[in-house]
Each structure stands twice: as structure tokens, then as C-alpha cells.
Amino acid sequence: MPLTMSSGLIALEGVAVRFGATTALHGVDFTLRAGERVALVGANGCGKTTLLRVLHGRLPHEGRRLVAGDLRQAMVYQRPFLLRVSVWRNLMLALWLAGVPAAERTARADAALARVGLAGERNRPARVLSGGQQQRLALARAWAVRPQVLFLDEPTASLDPGAKREVEQLITEFSAEGMALVMSTHNLGQAKRLATRVLYLEGGRLVVDLATNDFFERPLPEPAALFLKGELPWSA
């Protein structure tokens, strides 16, 4: 069911996800609006990645997922899957799969590599790049299809501080270009730096949904407050 752009890009109404006897999400209501940068936080197993996959339309669920028109979306995973071909071919294949016209692919791939600082690596096998370079390539593939919404699942979790700064800078620049972002992260500092809105999940339930300043400055429900202080045990 389509939404109007004024009401949001993606909306979830009473969304639940079950894996056998396990309920991964419980009745989640959420609306993503244009230009927002949303951070999903919570302990391991709280439902962050499941929620990302539902928002991206890649997971069966109960309840409703509503999308505004022909919404372009892309997702970057914590450990991006790269084919055993060159950096250049990884980009070109991504553009082909996204249905980008053949006449546009070369220019888009060139622009994407320049955008993430990998123009000099175009002929190298993608899988020999460093971790930070691989993540930048994954971001280039996403950026090249010109999504209105970009989903990021722990995009800097396995990176060293220098690579993390590079990726965060790209995320900030993508947002400045008008892209809406939804990102799962365990790094509260990252959420504070990058997000305009923070969602705290616990046991598959959306417990807190606040503007970033409010999340870090206002009183929170006890589990969220303990998590913010680092006192809530991580679940398996």
C-alpha cells in the first residue's frame, strides 16, 4: 500500500517476525521520513538486524509495511559480500542487477569509485582490499544506484579507528545529499555523532523512539537507561 511522501518513506504497522517458536519482533510501529538518520541500538539479539531486513523488504513478517511509491533502497552489511572479480566488475554487476541502463553504468561506476576514494584500486581483486576499503566499496555500490534510503548493519564494527572515521565521513556526506539512513550500531558515540533519531530495542520490542539529543539527555525507561550506562548485560 503506497504512502505519500509527506507522511513518510517507509512505515511499519504492528510488524512481528517469528522464527519458529521465537518471536524476533513484537508489534513494531515505525515511520521513516525523508532526510532522517536513524540509529538502532540495543543488546545483541534485540532485533536490530531483523528490523533492518523488514524495513528493506527482505523478510516475511506479520503486520503491514507501507512504502512511498517506487522507493529506491540499498543495504550495506557488516561484512559485505564481494565477488571474486575486480573492484570495477563488482560495481558494474551491482548496477546491472539494480536495472541501471547500460549507457549509464560506466559513468556511475567511475563516479562511485571517485566518491569513496577507490579510483586507483579499480583493477584490483575486490577480496584483497583491506577491511576499510571493502566497506568503502560496498558503500560505493550502494551509492551508485542512487537510493533514497540506505540501510547499514553495523557498518564499522570490524574496522580500525582510521577506517571507521572514513566510513563515518562517507555516511555523513551521503546524508547531506538527501539520503535517508537507518543504521544498527553498538557504538553509542557513533549513534550520537551520526543520528538524528535513536530507536532502542529490547527483546524484539521497540521501547524508545526519540530524537538523538532527547535520547542522550532525557530520563529513559530503566532498561534503556541501564544500557546507556553500560550496565545492561548483553544477551546471547
Domain CATH code at residue 233? 3.40.50.300
Spatial contact of 136 and 166, defined as CB atoms under 8 Å apart: yes
Q: Is residue 59 part of a domain?
A: yes
Q: Report the 10 Å Cβ neighbour count for 230.
A: 7
pLDDT above 60 (res 233): no
With 0-12 / 13-18 / 19 or more C-beta atoms within 10 angstroms meaning exposed / middle / buried, residue 40 is: buried
What's the order of all strands across the beta sheet hosting 62-67? 22-32, 10-19, 62-67
pLDDT at 232: 58
Kindly report, residue by residue over 1-56, the tens digit of the pLDDT: 555 545 689 999 999 999 999 999 999 999 999 999 999 999 989 999 999 999 99
Residue 40 counted as domain residue: yes
Q: Into how many domains does the chain fold?
A: 1
Helix residue ranges, H only, the chain: 48-55, 87-97, 102-115, 131-144, 161-176, 188-194, 212-217, 222-229
Main-chain phi, psi angles of 220, to 5 degrees: -120, 160
Per-residue pLDDT tens for 146-196? 999 999 999 998 788 988 999 999 999 999 999 999 999 999 999 999 999
Confidence label for 216 from pLDDT (cuts 50, 70 and 90): very high
Its pTM stands at 0.92
* pLDDT at residue 158, as a whole number: 79
Quick check: is 5 in a domain? yes
The answer to whether position 232 is within a domain reads yes
Instruction: Residue 55: name the closest of 183, 174, 167, 209 by CA.
Output: 183
Q: Is 235 a member of any domain?
A: yes
Does residue 15 fall inside a structural domain? Answer: yes
How far is the C-alpha of 236 from the C-alpha of 226, rounded, in Å? 17
Burial 11-31 (b: 16+ CB within 10 A, else e): bbeebebeeeeebbbbebebe
Structural domain for 228, as ranges = 1-71+188-236
The CA distance from 221 to 42, in Å, is: 13
Q: Specify if 104 maps to a domain.
A: no
Tell me whether residue 131 is in a domain. no
Residue with cell string 546471547: 236
